[in-house]
Structure 1
Amino acid sequence: MKTVADSIADKAKSERKRRAEALPSNARAAAIDTTEPAALEAVRIGRRLQTMRRAQGLTLVDLASKANCSASLVSRVENGRLLPSLSVLHKLVAGLGTSMASFLSGSENESCMLVRASERKEVALDYLGDPHQGVRIEQIIPHSPERTLQGNLITITAGHGSAGDYSHVGEEAGFVMDGFIELTIDKQTHVLGKGDSFCFRSEAPHSFYNPGPGEAVVLWINTPPTF
């Protein structure tokens, strides 16, 4: 005889199956099981996918287009609410221009990461500014879903800066290594020069600009990783 608990469990299982079957055939994914291992794996995959997507300057729509699926599906996977099937994950990973082996291996067991100056990677982000139009972003902390910090070396030529305001969850801190920048936080503009530092909540609308006369270099730290 089934107990009330058994009936509830069966109902939940049927609902998960119904939701999974409701997905488009070209974007079929498995709904997350309530068991802890599956939930943890969904979160791990989602965080890695989001970190890699942002590092490449791709929007949800961009990646969805590359993987031939919906942006809402990509969002659910990134938020850990959906554990993708192998075929869907393969398409998403291919859309990021990497292999399944590289994506799944990651760097979870690395307690220390060293990046030589010659190995620093440049990040192209259209929404921060065209790198050929005055903004260059280099990673000093390689992206990883296991890290809570993101560090970049941002070089800004005179007369250029971010393309508008940004607002997101987290905190930011920075150190001006050279030149001057105008840092606008919540509509208040602050002029910072070499040796100055800053820290603010990322939820406040913020932007940066180099008034000149020369190039500005800023060490910029975010938590959690933003792009």
Structure 2
Amino acid sequence: MHSTLAFVRDAQADRADRTDRLVTHRSANRLADDPSIADFRADRIAGDTNARSLADLPSAQSGAAARVDGAFDTLEYLVGVNLARLRAERQFSLDALARASGVSRAMLAQVESARSVPSIKVLCKVAAALKVSVSAFLRRHAVSGFEHLPADRASRRVSADGRYSARALYPEDGPAAAEFHELRIAPLHTEPGTRRAPGTTVNLVVSEGTLEVSVHDRRQLLATGDAIVFDADQPHSLRNPGDTEARVFRVTLNAETPPRWAVPLAGEIRNAGDTRPAASVQPI
């Protein structure tokens, strides 16, 4: 007779094999565009361990998005989807990737199904086997591996007089460590810059025309092909001194903002003779 534990293990192995076959035999593009995969990951994050085939997943779509909550759940989902996509693109089975990376098949299956977040050491091993950077597992555009930004649908900010415009060349759906814009400045127009947080750096390169950059009381004239880097927490402005439109590319590296921490009040600090656990310091 089989023990209860044996049946549980058999069911888990069967589910892992079905998922492995589906991920391995689908092309990377189909995997990227298949909403059932995303719903499957979200469902596993919610802790649903019922044996279900991917064909059954559309019935659970309505509640999947609401269940992807919390930073750690999102991280599990992101790493899992990325691993599944990268493995499919390279046509690795779970067993093949386990042999190439030295990471067990069971661990890889848990990561892909968003049941655990691997350590940095494990991620490094898997990344080396897949020939990618560790950061590839943390990309927010994970499902497709890239994000197309058509010029005709790009976000563009235009000044009231229409003589200055900035087009975003990066996804603006959330906070970004770096921002990339295309600027167009009409002849003889001056555009005041927005002062940013200390530690923010701006890098400009002139693609067409000329540009005069003023930082405090210092001015620098840039010709086509010239570049400049300056701290964006200073007063600055951009002026086109020419008689043709200037085209400039701007990269903004945002300052690192460490998390704020809730410091215990004086009355909450444990006395020397108090044996109760000290209050933990939590980010807010």
TM-score by length of 1: 0.46
More strand by proportion, 1 or 2?
A: 1
Instruction: Calculate the TM-score normalised by the size of structure 2.
Output: 0.37
Highest RCO, 1 vs 2 (Cα 8 Å, sep ≥ 6): 1
- Structure number with greater Rg is 2
